Amino acid sequence: MRHLTDDELLLHHNHDGDDVEMADQHLTSCAECQARLIAIEEVLKLVVAPPVPDRGPDYGFQVWNRIRVELPELTTRERWWLAIPPWGWVGVAAVLLVVVFLLGRYSSNRQSPLNVVTNGAVTTPLPAQQVRERVLLLAVGDHLDRTQMLLMELSHASDPEEIDISEGRQRAVELANANRLYRTTAQKVGDATIVTLLDELERVLLQVGHEPSHLTARDLKGIQDGIQSQGILFKVRVVRANVRRESAQRPQAATSQMKGPTT
Amino acid sequence: MEIDDTAAVARVRSGDKDTFRLLVERHSHTIFRLAFRMMENEQDAEEIVQETFLRAYRALDGFEARANFGTWIYRIALNRCYDFLNQRKSRPVIQPQGDPEAPTVIDQIPTKSPSPERSLLSQEIQVQVHSAMELLTSGERIAFVLFHFEGRSIEEVARTLNVRQGVVKNRVYRAVKKLRRQLQPLRAFR
């Protein structure tokens, strides 16, 4: 006859466990297990949940009043991409690739764009190469934000025993797929800095994507050390800042370049 | 018209900050109860409630529309509890002086004591239980409170904490073992 383990007795106390009936049957005929169960129950009876102080019906309103001043406004830029599900980013990247391809075709067919007179000033349509670069910068910027968020979460994750990274792993796979398309696009546009960074990111994302869903503290440390030793988060931050600056500067540069001479 | 959590989240995400109030009003009591049971301290529990909602608001971009807001914010609150418990553990604790084998107040009170002593005994039991709970690691305490105080099954606790069921069983069992060791002398008084 196999006696119940302490785990099983504990689960039995909470009417939990894989085989409640088997445990019940055993307990009716085994005095030793009964005694052990009583010992566990005596302790659990002593440990009662402390009475929770009543907060009153308007507690929620009080909490709201305390936090409302600290809530930042969500910016428009933050808002529009929140609506896109994680897997949607692969689609966004694919669309981008098509846009860049079409722009390439368009630019080779139209070598000398016509000047346009608007409000008395002569303006020239943006050269296709610049448009392509701008589309890429905008798209890669958001991709880098999302990747940075995931890597930061992994870098700060901690658990003394085991951690479930299944959600992060799934995001890593989706980001790696989108990353591949962005890298191809960046190669076409000829942006070597972004290509190099995306190349490194892809390796890290694929590594995370291939990890098991549950990691021991040691495995997690391995990933964190990998992220840290390559300085990948720092590189992402630097390139992200450059991308942001460039995408803000380019329209101004293009406009000043294209304005006709003032007389 | 009353709107559900998913619709409220969508509104907040589209810029209607004030709708967040609905979510705060709906979930504050649950989060406070959880935080108080974890911390056994009103001030810490209040801080956790506040920080939980602030974090949730800032992290709304990570919230998936198909998920349950209540479960999501409960997890955020648990993470805050975990951090608070770890901080509390790192603070120096003043240990009581004297011989650990010496009889305690409880040892001197007869089992069938009259009412005032009974009341004193009950208070003393609470103190002992509180001290015993402080000996648990943050992980053990969280798993134990969810299992024993909140009445969740091992499977539910595992899902909430994002760990395997075996890990939860281990943590709860270790917690019970530690509590048993600490509270053994009190068993005779129940």
Q: Is B125 on the interface with A (CB under 8 A)?
A: yes
Q: Do A161 and B167 touch (CB under 8 A)?
A: yes
My answer on whether B78 and B6 are in the same domain is: yes
The secondary structure of B82-144 as a DSSP string is HHHHHHHHHS--PPPPS-TTS--TGGGS-TT--HHHHHHHHHHHHHHHHHHHHTS-HHHHHHH
Q: pLDDT per residue over A48-103, tens digit each?
A: 888 899 998 999 999 999 998 888 876 544 445 555 565 666 777 777 777 766 66
Question: Which pLDDT score, from 0 to 100, does residue B32 have?
Answer: 96
Is residue A231 domain-shared with residue A153, that is, in the same domain? Answer: yes
Note whether A46 contacts B154, CB cutoff 8 Å: no
Considering the domain architecture, whether residues A92 and A143 belong to the same structural domain is answered as yes
Q: Point out the domain boundary residue: A16, A45, A71.
A: A71
DSSP A212: -
Number of folded domains that form chain A = 2
Q: How far is the alpha carbon of A175 from chain B, nearest alpha carbon, in Å?
A: 15
pLDDT in tens, chain B (190 residues): 578 888 899 888 888 888 999 999 999 999 999 999 999 989 999 999 999 999 899 888 777 777 789 989 998 999 889 888 888 776 655 444 444 444 444 444 444 555 666 667 777 777 888 888 988 988 899 999 999 898 888 889 988 888 888 888 888 888 988 888 888 776 655 5
Interface probe with A: pick from B49, B85, B146, most Cβ of A within 10 Å? B49
Could you list the residue range(s) of the whole structural domain that residue A157 is in? Answer: 84-258
Nearest to B139 among A16, A42, A161 (CB): A161
Residue A175 lies in a domain: yes
Q: CA nearest A36 in B: which residue? A: B180
Q: DSSP for B136-181, please give it.
A: S-HHHHHHHIIIIIS---HHHHHHHHTS-HHHHHHHHHHHHHHHHH
Chain B residues close to A59, C-beta within 8 Å: 28-29, 32
Residues B63 and B114 in one domain: no
Predicted confidence (pLDDT) at residue A10 exceeds the cutoff of 90: no
Q: What is the CATH number of the domain that holds B87?
A: 1.10.1740.10
Q: Does B67 touch chain A (CB under 8 A)?
A: no
Tallying the residues shown for chain A, one arrives at: 263
How many Å from the N-terminal Cα to the C-terminal Cα in chain A?
104
Q: Is A238 domain-assigned?
A: yes
Could you tell me if B17 and B75 lie in one domain? yes
Question: What is the pLDDT at residue B96?
Answer: 40
Q: What's A190's DSSP letter?
A: T
Q: Which of B54, B141, B148, B57 is nearest to A41 (CA)?
A: B148
Choose one of B54, B76, B91: the last residue of a domain. B91
**Tally of structural domains, chain B:** 2
Domain that holds residue B152: 95-190
Q: Which residues of B touch A78 (CB under 8 A)?
A: 61
Tally of CB atoms within 10 A around B167: 22
Residue A30 CB burial class (10 angstroms; 0-12, 13-18, ≥19): middle
Contacts by residues B151-157 (CB-CB < 8 Å, ≥ 24 positions apart): B151/A14, B153/A14, B153/A16, B154/A11, B154/A16, B154/A17
Q: Would you call B4 helix, strand, or coil by DSSP?
A: coil
Q: Is A85 on the interface with B (CB under 8 A)?
A: yes
- B78 and B137 both lie in a single domain: no
Nearest-10 Cα torsion for B165, B167, B169, B174? -170
Closest CA to B54 of B94, B105, B20: B20
Are A50 and A92 part of one and the same domain? Answer: no
CATH number, domain of B129, equals 1.10.10.10
Exposure string over A36-53, b if 16+ CB within 10 A, otherwise e: bbeebebbbebbeebebe
Name the domain boundary from B91, B106, B141. Answer: B91
- CA distances to A86, B9, B131 from B117, rounded to whole Å, are 62, 53, 21
Which two tokens mark B109?
């009170």
Q: Is residue A186 within 8 Å of residue A194, measured between CB atoms?
A: yes
List pLDDT tens digits, range A131-176. 667 777 777 888 888 888 888 888 877 766 667 777 788 888 888 8
Bridge partners, residue B15, by sequence? none
